[in-house]
Amino acid sequence: MIPSKFDYVVARSLDQALQLLGKHGTDAKILSGGHSLIPLMKFRLATPSVVVDVGRLSDLRFIREEEEDIVVGGLATHHMLESSALLLEKAPVLSMAAARVGDVQVRNRGTIGGSLVHADPAADLPAAVLALNARIKVVGAGGEREIPADRFFVGMLESAVRPDEILTEVRVRKSDVGNGAAYLKVPQPASGFAVVGIATTLSWAGGTCAGIRIGVTGVGQKPYRAAEVESRLMRTSLDGEALRSACARTAEGVDVLSDIHASAEYRKELAAIYTRRCVEAAAARARG
Domain(s) labelled CATH 3.30.390.50 in the chain stretch across 178-287
Which band of pLDDT confidence, cut at 50, 70 and 90, is reported for residue 60? very high
- 233-281 confidence digits (pLDDT tens): 999 999 999 999 999 999 999 999 999 999 999 999 999 999 999 999 9
- 91-106 confidence digits (pLDDT tens): 999 999 999 999 899 9
Domain(s) labelled CATH 3.30.43.10 in the chain stretch across 7-53
Which band of pLDDT confidence, cut at 50, 70 and 90, is reported for residue 45? confident
Category of 201 on φ-ψ map: left (φ > 0), alpha (ψ -120 to 50) or beta: beta
Q: Residue 36: what pLDDT? A: 85
Alpha helices in 91-212, H assignment, sequence order: 92-98, 104-109, 112-118, 125-131
Helix axes 264-287, 240-247, angle to 10 degrees: 140
Average pLDDT over residues 223-228: 98
Mean pLDDT over the full length of the chain: 95
Q: Which of the listed CATH numbers 2.40.50.1020, 3.30.43.10, 3.40.50.300, 1.10.287.610 matches domain 7-53?
A: 3.30.43.10
CB atoms near residue 108 (< 10 Å): 13
* Contact yes or no for 18/164 (Cβ under 8 A): yes
Which band of pLDDT confidence, cut at 50, 70 and 90, is reported for residue 288? confident
The architecture CATH gives domain 58-175: 2-Layer Sandwich (3.30)
Q: Residue 33: what pLDDT? A: 86
Render the burial of 196-232: b for 16+ CB within 10 Å, e for the rest: bbbbbbbbbeeeebebbbbbbbbbbbbbbbbeebbeb
The architecture CATH gives domain 178-287: 2-Layer Sandwich (3.30)
Helix, coil or strand: residue 172 = strand
- Pick from 40, 170, 183: which is nearest to 111 by CA? 170
| pLDDT higher than threshold 90 for residue 214 | yes
Cα separation, 121 vs 119, in Å, equals: 6
Percentage of the residues of the chain whose pLDDT score is greater than 70? 100
* Contact yes or no for 171/71 (Cβ under 8 A): yes
Cα separation, 220 vs 258, in Å, equals: 9
Domain(s) labelled CATH 3.30.465.10 in the chain stretch across 58-175
- 150-160 confidence digits (pLDDT tens): 999 999 999 99
pTM to 2 decimal places: 0.96
| pLDDT higher than threshold 80 for residue 1 | no
User: For 48-160, where are the E strands, in sequence order?
Assistant: 50-53, 63-66, 69-73, 135-140, 143-148, 153-155, 158-159
DSSP run (H or E) holding 2: none
Q: Residue 34: what pLDDT? A: 85
Q: Which residue has the higher pLDDT, 77 or 34?
A: 77
